[in-house]
Structure 1
Amino acid sequence: MEAKPQQQQPASASHNENVPSEEPVTLHAEGASRKGWIENNLLQEVNFDLPLTVTTPTEYDGQTFLVLDFAPGDKENPFNWSGKYKAFISLLLCLMTLFIGLATTAYSSGISRMVSDLGVSTELGQLGLFCFNFTCALAPLFLAPFCELAGRRVVYVGSYVCFSLMFIGLALGKNIATILVCRALLGLFGCVGTILVGGTFGDMYTPAHRAIPMASFSFIAIFGTVAAPIYAGFVDQALGWRWLEGIQGLANIPLMILIAIFLRETRGGVALAKRAKQIRKSTGDIRFVTHSELEAPGIKQMLHNSSVKAIHMLMTEPVVFAFGLWISFAWFLTFLFLSVIPITYQDKRGWGEGHWYHLGFALNFFQIRKYKSLTVSLQGKVEPEARLYGAMCGALWLPVGLFIYSFTQYKQLTWVGPVIGLGLIGIGIFFIFESCYSYTADCYGETASSAIAGQGFMRNTLGAVSPLFATQFFTNLGSQYAGLLLALIATLLTLIPYVLFKFGPALRARSKLASTTIQAGAQ
């Protein structure tokens, strides 16, 4: 049965010093019980400090409940946190994403010496890349219920602690089985760095202020993945593959401590649930609940809904599938080139495509400026398609870079051409990632986590399998024709933002899950 909300009422506490003076505070009636008194749906008194809270009488399953919500200016509402604290939390989460991204591919630099020490084949060693990405693809499908029940903070801290501990097994493992199991668990716990961060920014920032944090996150997510070989090769040569893993584990400890100490719960619903529990305990009135408590299914149903909903949205929502396909191809290219660049440029290349993501990050500020200008001109009401301007311009560099890369692979040509091509590929991939996260978050609001989880499943699955055949793909087809085939596919996929810019509003209007417009400055 659907809940039917009625008119909202303010619920006040008689002992709260933080309630603004201009807000009406209802005092308790003479002779009222110290455990609480309800009159006209107003909470008269509780025995703990309670910020001014909005209550909405709601009919559900034949009973009337008082559903709690934040009042304007409530300091427990993550949208009302100070800008400095939000920036600090964003920095911590981006650094966590960076370290997780570095761990994804730094492993590849030590494979040669590792398989030699353990006496196994190179192909078996490369399975470590597959194991990481595959568990990273599956875990988000079941992660949402734990965030709903326990909140994001518990998931962040618990996962990151376990993530850091896995480096002990990677550094000290005596056989390949231990290494592969630890890599699989590393991906399982590390998926929070790519899945939850975007949703966390949505918990704290309004759409008008979300662009820079999302752009920073997209840049870090890609840069961390491609930057690892820059330093990992030197560490492997100087200290060995075990120290390569050990140093990464040690580097995560200070950040892990900072996150455990300073990260507060960003899901407003969790704070409201604690408030409702305190009110029920103080007043004895069980009618005070939150939206999530009123309609939350059991854990089994939540796990089923989480996994099925993510795949269902991927299969039935054109926007989710289109961007999922696009970002999956970009992630596929990232791991493909990480596997083949050391082969094709072992003697020629001095540095790779990772350096060029800085330019893509800088160019994205034109997209942010365009979005802000639309917000002002449309009085704060903008459509999600405003997030696509950067993708329509910046993502064009992906097929251009692939064409340059494929046509400059001949031995008689200088190595500069392929490096420029790889740089343009990097710029294009950045714009794909940034627009995918921002556009999906704006389109689907509260259900964006499921949409991003579905896209993450497709993306990480392709990323997992690409290293397994990358060498054979470029060797059998030749670098020129392999690059040409990828360029043609990229050209077709680059049409996606243009199609969605034109038909996106109609597609969202037909969807039961997508939003139509965004109040950019609204909380």
Structure 2
Amino acid sequence: MDTLRESSLGDFLRLVSRNQWLRHPEEKPDFVVPPQYAGQLPLTTAQTNVSDDTDAPATTETTKKGGIPHATLAANAVIVTWYGDNDPANPQNWSLPKKLWVLFVIMFYTFAVYVGSAIFAYAVYDAAEYFDVSVTLATINVTLFVVGYALGPLVLAPLSEVASIGRNPPYIVSLAIFCILQVPTALSTNFAGLCVLRFLAGFVGSPPLATGGASITDIFSPQKAGYGIGIYGIAAGVAPALAPSISGFAVIRFGWRWAFWELLIMSGAGLVCLFVGLPETSADNILYRRAQRLRKLTGNEFLRSEAELAEAEKSFASVMQEALVRPIVMTLTEPIILAINLYVGLTYAILYSYLESYPVVFAEGYGWNLGLAGLPFLAITVGGLVSYVVYCLWSYYSWEPKFVAAKGELAPEAYLPLSLYGAFCYPICLFWFAWTANRTSWVSPTIATGIFGLADCWSFMPFLNYLAFAYPRYAASALASNDFVRSLMGAAMPIVSRPLFHNLGVDWGNSLLAFITILFIPIPFVLVKYGPWLRSRSRMAEKYESDNVPRKSEGAAV
């Protein structure tokens, strides 16, 4: 019942019943107000009329609205927080089944959107014939979708950090629009219109790609969050790989439009799960609404949540700076972020190059139909699952004991050991795929694809954890920067790789990518060795006592 009450459906039912259904504890007759909140007197008329400028009388409008000058509120505020360490409203205290349910919903939501990036990849042939354009031009629809979800988080993701909004409204509204857009996309008869709709779908579908990890860290402790982030990363990583398998046979039987009907079915199912069964996970939003209920119950206008009080000081300009300016500035001025963004972006570039090389290898080379040609992509899923098992074992037996010993103050470089092995997996899988495809049995290049699943998992998860702990004060901006860069790098590949493989061939085309990955191998090694030194010279990165480097005086952060 608590899960339903805390979901968007629960909010709707409470609204139509005027809070008579699914009541919160503060709305029940037998609720006893905690002493720390009951002891304060309600705001008096004299206090209401106090202005920030003590020499200036309060305006009649302010008095009518019951407005409180910020200086008065800040000086007298009573901070509303949890009712104790075991408060069931605290997402960290939810039961394990409830946490796993939330994790599943976030994963399914992310999967449904990420599938949309590549679900059109094998439909481009049929669509190119329908719209009478080249296959390369038709492929731009894959690129535009990815560009959309590169730009979307810069605008939409920060909304989930606002205490008065929370995580769920951006999720629900954006996914509802995403579902609606699939209908005109599937019915499109104009190529330009199709391109615009694909970009818009990517843009509005982007929130889980940037804030899904934040929802997971809302409910899991820092010691256990890595397991949730890991499986979430698997869902995001395998979705583009599974897309050709999902759409291939339907496109062959019913045409290119069915790729979008399938996407509508999956995203629609995700929308139902979100609306009916996803409780709000933002602690700031939960406490914000609790403070509202307590103010209504006690009449004490000084009861405020901490985030609510802090937001009263924020201007629109500062919000826009955090949303748009800071991620870009961090990309350009923080060597750690730039290096990781380029490295993770390279993994996306390789993944989307695979989308274009598979039809060349398995359809043209081995003579399979497009439906069968997408099935070897399942090897990435197998590789990802194997790598996740290894990641969990490493976390449990190696990382967690160090985290506990450090009392939660473990330096972020401790997250990176698996990335050292992942760095070598990329050239191995690319060279293997390049020189066995169409020369040996189809099994060999398929196994090579599975190694990419290992590389992807062992890079994606450690680096995202590293960013979050190296820049805890600006984690949202750091992750938004990473999402932006990696998506743009991945977006370019569907257009570039097709002529690349046809001009150089699958062998030398993939070998060229493999040589590039060799150039990137030193990045995780440099971060492991020199990460503490780089963080010590940063204005934004966190410093740890175990870094053992002289600390540079911190300047003002952007």
TM class by shorter-chain length?
0.7 to 0.9
CA contact (8 A) 2:357 2:506 kept: no
- What is the rounded CA distance, in whole Å, between the counterparts of 2:330 and 2:37 in structure 1? 45
Q: CA deviation at 1:292?
A: 5.1
2:155 equivalent in structure 1: 142
Give the letter for the 1:110 counterpart: A
- What is the rounded CA distance, in whole Å, between the counterparts of 1:89 and 1:167 in structure 2? 25
Q: How many residues align?
A: 481
Q: Which of residues 127, 130, 136 in structure 2 aligns to 1:123? A: 136
- What is the rounded CA distance, in whole Å, between the counterparts of 2:71 and 2:421 in structure 1? 49
Q: Which of residues 81, 86, 101 in structure 2 aligns to 1:88? A: 101
Secondary structure of the 1:345 match is: helix
Give the letter for the 2:414 counterpart: A
2:492 equivalent in structure 1: 465
Secondary structure of the 1:264 match is: coil
- Closer/same/farther in 2, CA of residues 17 and 385 from structure 1, 3 Å limit: farther
- Closer/same/farther in 2, CA of residues 400 and 283 from structure 1, 3 Å limit: same
Q: Which of residues 389, 413, 416 in structure 2 aligns to 1:385? A: 413
1:195 equivalent in structure 2: 210
CA contact (8 A) 1:110 1:236 kept: yes
2:501 equivalent in structure 1: 474
1:209 equivalent in structure 2: 224
2:342 equivalent in structure 1: 325
Q: What is the root-mean-square deviation in Å for CA atoms of aligned residues? A: 3.1
Give the letter for the 1:193 counterpart: P
Q: CA deviation at 1:138?
A: 0.9
Q: CA deviation at 1:109?
A: 1.6
1:340-383 CA distances to partner (integer Å, 9 max, x unpaired)?
A: 22112324366234343232222222332222232344344422
- Closer/same/farther in 2, CA of residues 26 and 474 from structure 1, 3 Å limit: closer
- What is the rounded CA distance, in whole Å, between the counterparts of 2:269 and 2:127 in structure 1? 27
Q: Which of residues 238, 245, 251 in structure 2 aligns to 1:223? A: 238
Give the letter for the 1:511 counterpart: S
- What is the rounded CA distance, in whole Å, between the counterparts of 2:326 and 2:171 in structure 1? 22
2:306 equivalent in structure 1: 290
Unaligned runs of 5+ in 2: 1-25, 48-69, 367-372, 546-558
Q: Which of residues 514, 517, 520 in structure 1 aligns to 2:541? A: 514
Q: Which of residues 420, 441, 460 in structure 1 aligns to 2:447? A: 420
2:188 equivalent in structure 1: 173
Give the letter for the 1:87 counterpart: L
- What is the rounded CA distance, in whole Å, between the counterparts of 2:155 and 2:36 in structure 1? 43
1:70 equivalent in structure 2: 81
Structure holding more strand per residue? 1
Q: Which of residues 319, 328, 337 in structure 2 aligns to 1:302? A: 319
CA contact (8 A) 1:331 1:460 kept: yes
Q: CA deviation at 1:484?
A: 2.5
CA contact (8 A) 1:395 1:427 kept: no
Is the counterpart of residue 490 in structure 1 residue 502 in structure 2? Answer: no
1:181-233 CA distances to partner (integer Å, 9 max, x unpaired)?
A: 22111101211231110111122222111111111111110111111111311
CA contact (8 A) 1:68 1:291 kept: no
Give the letter for the 1:386 counterpart: A
Is the counterpart of residue 456 in structure 1 residue 489 in structure 2? Answer: no
- What is the rounded CA distance, in whole Å, between the counterparts of 2:42 and 2:238 in structure 1? 60
- Closer/same/farther in 2, CA of residues 116 and 284 from structure 1, 3 Å limit: same
- What is the rounded CA distance, in whole Å, between the counterparts of 2:300 and 2:387 in structure 1? 57
Secondary structure of the 1:470 match is: helix
- What is the rounded CA distance, in whole Å, between the counterparts of 1:471 and 1:390 in structure 2? 32
CA contact (8 A) 1:398 1:428 kept: yes
1:312-341 CA distances to partner (integer Å, 9 max, x unpaired)?
A: 111222222221111100001111111122
- What is the rounded CA distance, in whole Å, between the counterparts of 2:471 and 2:406 in structure 1? 21
- Closer/same/farther in 2, CA of residues 83 and 67 from structure 1, 3 Å limit: farther
Q: Which of residues 522, 527, 531 in structure 2 aligns to 1:500? A: 527
1:241 equivalent in structure 2: 256
CA contact (8 A) 1:67 1:291 kept: no
Is the counterpart of residue 164 in structure 1 residue 179 in structure 2? Answer: yes
- What is the rounded CA distance, in whole Å, between the counterparts of 1:294 and 1:510 in structure 2? 29
Give the letter for the 1:383 counterpart: A
Is the counterpart of residue 372 in structure 1 residue 400 in structure 2? Answer: yes
Is the counterpart of residue 430 in structure 1 residue 457 in structure 2? Answer: yes
CA contact (8 A) 2:181 2:197 kept: yes
Report the more deviating stretch, 276-285 or 432-441: 276-285
Report the more deviating stretch, 340-349 or 316-325: 340-349
Give the letter for the 2:376 counterpart: W
Q: CA deviation at 1:433?
A: 1.4
Report the more deviating stretch, 297-306 or 382-391: 297-306
Give the letter for the 2:342 counterpart: L
1:351 equivalent in structure 2: 376
Give the letter for the 1:184 counterpart: F
Unaligned runs of 5+ in 1: 1-12, 39-58, 519-523
CA contact (8 A) 1:395 1:429 kept: no
Give the letter for the 2:75 counterpart: T
Is the counterpart of residue 104 in structure 1 residue 129 in structure 2? Answer: no
